[in-house]
Amino acid sequence: MSRRGRRLGAAFAGLVALLFAGRWLSALWADRWWSQEVSPTSTAFLTDWHFLRLILDIGGVVIAAAWFIGHFLIVYRAVGSVQVRRNVANLEIREALTPGALLAVATVSGALLGLLVGGGTSRLAPQVALAWQGVSYGDLDPLLQRDLGLYVAQLPVWRAGHAFFFILELLGLGTVFGLYLLVGAVRWIEGRPAINSHARMHLGWLLVGLALVLMWGYLLEPYELVAGLDATPDQARWKAVTLVAPLLAGVALATGVLSAAWALRARHALAAAGWIVLAGASLVGHWMVPPAMSGNGEALADSAMARHLDEIAYGIGAIEETRLPDVVATPEPPRLAGPWDAATIARALSGDSVEILSVEPAVLTLRNGRHPAWLAAIGAASGRLSLLAMAADRTGTGGEPLFYHAKDSLAGPGASPFLELGADASRPGAPQFRLHGREGPGTPASSWPRRVILAWALQAGSLLGQLPPGVRIDWELSPSRRVARLAPFASWGEPVPRLIDGELVWLVDGYVSAASFPLGPRLEWRGRRVGSLRAGFVGTVAAETGLTHIYLRPGDNPLAESWAAVSEGVVEPSSAIPISILRSMPYPPEVLRAQAKVLEGPVWKLGRQGASTGSDTTATRRADVAWAPDTSGPQLAIAYERSVDRRIGAVLVADREDGGDVLHLVRLDSTRALPSRAALESRWGRFPSFGALTDSIRDDGGRLERGPVRFDVSSTGVVASQAHFASHGENTAVVWVSVATDSRMGAGRTFAEAWSNLLGATAPSVAGTAQATRLDEARRLMLRADSALRAGDWMTFGRVWESLRKAFGMPPDGEGP
């Protein structure tokens, strides 16, 4: 290569290195500036995290590049000359490459292969950091007698290292063999292969390395089987692996010795025999021995051990089972039964100029006590954030939703916001970054170098334009992205709105999972297979100020505790969680779905979750929402159908007690079991009044929608219910409620009417009749007016006064009779 060519190559390589270094440095400095404003304790950890990723990337590229360049240089030593074809005019000539050109080609090719193979190693940063810290559960697996933490922390790194070196060996062997074929060091003479001594020694030592890597993989097979990575573990499979893996490792070691002997002396037949035996032994050991040892699928762990491992892997804990009375004369309804569900509320509140950001169950604390409510976060087209508090356990006289207001302790009609925040508030779907004034949040961006760094890190070219003096930049404004930037080792869920001390705070669950966990069921979660899933952290983000905290979730969770130790203070201990936050934390929904799936298995034998009905048509239906009788918080319920008769045989209730997650299980015997969701809907649809109601709504130009069939637990048994909603334009109201127990069914325009019908006290109201007398409506409005008057809320008082005049048929103020 000419001097000019070398200069151009060096300049290009320098430019590429500068771009990569600039990108990395800009991300590092941006994270440091951002963390100093959001959470100063996280600055050191984020810096170390960036350096860990850089070291892994550089290490992977350097090792791979050195591997390929080294082998290519060994081939280069065996090359006498290489000719390439060139066309000059109409003539084809052959030109020999100079040694310098060959050396440059070997170096550049090896570097490019090293970059392709070794690049992206930083994705292993979580596994490396966790393996370095270590995890100790204090429990041993029943087969290999190793701590469970070895499978969670060390085994993934062992497998990643094995995969990396296996790829290096295969690619190195393949490319080197191809090069020797190209230069004639390996060729066919008189129908027989011939190889020179230089190439034989090179390929022989490569085969030694491949044999050792294969031996490494065979030795990992028992650990992979126990961890559930290889196949569904049972006694037959375990016997086959424990028999075959050591033998294959020995054969691989012997094959490596024969390959080394071939590299030193030309014993072709001996080396070929070793690899033929290894290939045959591997085929027999993996494809013939396991079927030959097949048994009756006997599990590797007994029932008690399997349950114990499930409790550790998925945080199931000790399930509290509830016994129901054998005979109930008069069933009792749930104390806090509500007709609304998240999907129906989202449809009712949606509009062209608003975006439904979140609809979540909660408990609202007002002057007159705690009330079950649905909190709906709504984003307006202007960017403002509104929080609506909808009553969960009651409706208006026409079935319309009722809303709580900040200055009123009674719910009333009208979807007016309980709390309003400006466009700068942290919320889901927030823009990538925002500019603030001199006194606003964020990092200063007054200097030109800092603006260049931030523009590069955020990929925001607009930051290089004209900006106001003293401007500050804040980014990662979405609650989930904000906590994910501070703790990238966790998987974060959807933010949940909560009203805490009069302020909107987003709570985000942080999940920790393990791809390998001994002898446990493996589930699909977020597009990958996991053997363990726990909620280890909870993040809090103040909507107005953006103040962010990450706490260790209460409970025994060794994996989360190890990550907390790795985070160097980013994760605060569970004892630091404020009481108001601790009482408002929801049960982690993704963990509940995983727990419910595990409980379907043969170890727990609860049956299968029923199919979705009503408005909930997602592949994995959401749990039924109820509220604890003491209004301590929302409860989540999941019903199980027995496979024998498709009836509801058990209900799992997820609750929070004393700051911890608790599971309650209600088992129903054959005499108390309820029909399945589909059977209940079919029977409820036979009520004559329901048919008349459907015709009435259709004739009125409305649309009848059904909610999901839900199950709740009362003091005397399990109660099923389903609400139907009438939609007229933007108005949605509850118009029909169906209820059922194990032996009775009822329906009506409200839950109270449906329950009365179930007890046989009344018949359902005919479609179109009023649900309350005018006097009952006036009494309710007077109570709201009195509450608003005491609070000095004249706006609410005026609105209620107009509703009171309308209830008595009087014209609005200012209009004559």
The predicted-structure confidence for 342-375, as pLDDT tens digits, reads as follows 888 888 888 767 889 999 999 888 887 888 899 9
Give mean pLDDT, residues 702-711.
87
Q: How confident is the model at residue 809 (pLDDT cuts 50, 70, 90)?
A: low
> Which two three-digit tokens encode residue 562?
């190890």
pLDDT of residue 779: 66
pLDDT of residue 267: 81
pLDDT of residue 772: 40
Token pair 């080197």 is at which residue?
Answer: 176
Residue 46 has pLDDT above 90, yes or no: yes
| 462 CB-near residues (< 8 Å, 6+ apart) | 455
Token pair 């995969």 is at which residue?
Answer: 163
Return d(Cα 545, Cα 505) in angstroms, integer: 10
Strands 320-322 and 660-667: parallel
Q: Does residue 32 sit in helix, strand or coil?
A: helix
Counting residues of the chain whose pLDDT is more than 70, the rounded percentage is 87
Residue 498 has pLDDT above 80, yes or no: yes
Q: Which of 148-162, 489-503, 524-538, 793-807 has the lowest average pLDDT?
A: 793-807
pLDDT of residue 611: 58
Give mean pLDDT, residues 601-609.
84
Residue 768 has pLDDT above 50, yes or no: no
Q: How confident is the model at residue 773 (pLDDT cuts 50, 70, 90)?
A: very low
> Which two three-digit tokens encode residue 691?
């048919």
Catalogue the long-range contacts made by 795-804 (C-beta closer than 8 Å, 24 or more residues apart).
796/405, 796/407, 796/408, 796/412, 799/412, 799/414, 800/412, 803/412, 803/413, 804/778
Give mean pLDDT, residues 451-455.
84
Residue 532 has pLDDT above 90, yes or no: yes
Structural contact between residues 199 and 186, judged by C-beta atoms closer than 8 angstroms = yes
Q: How confident is the model at residue 23 (pLDDT cuts 50, 70, 90)?
A: confident
Identify the residue with better confidence: 10 or 251: 251
Question: Mean pLDDT across the chain, nearest whole number?
Answer: 83
Identify the residue with better confidence: 533 or 610: 533
Identify the residue with better confidence: 80 or 292: 292
Short-list 413, 414, 398, CA closest to 697: 398
pLDDT of residue 817: 43
Give mean pLDDT, residues 766-785.
54
Counting residues of the chain whose pLDDT is more than 90, the rounded percentage is 32
Return d(Cα 501, Cα 429) in angstroms, integer: 25
Q: Which of 302-311, 312-321, 481-490, 695-704 has the lowest average pLDDT?
A: 695-704
Return d(Cα 337, Cα 748) in angstroms, integer: 14
Give mean pLDDT, residues 166-182.
91
Short-list 585, 591, 712, CA closest to 658: 585
3-state secondary structure string, 68-116? HHHHHHHHHHHCCCCEEEEEECCEEEEEECCHHHHHHHHHHHHHHHHHH
pLDDT of residue 767: 40
Q: pTM, whole model, 2 decimals?
A: 0.85
pLDDT of residue 173: 93
pLDDT of residue 12: 67
pLDDT of residue 617: 40
> Which two three-digit tokens encode residue 267?
């014993």
pLDDT of residue 69: 92
Q: Which of 132-146, 251-265, 572-586, 681-695 has the lowest average pLDDT?
A: 681-695
pLDDT of residue 479: 93
pLDDT of residue 354: 83
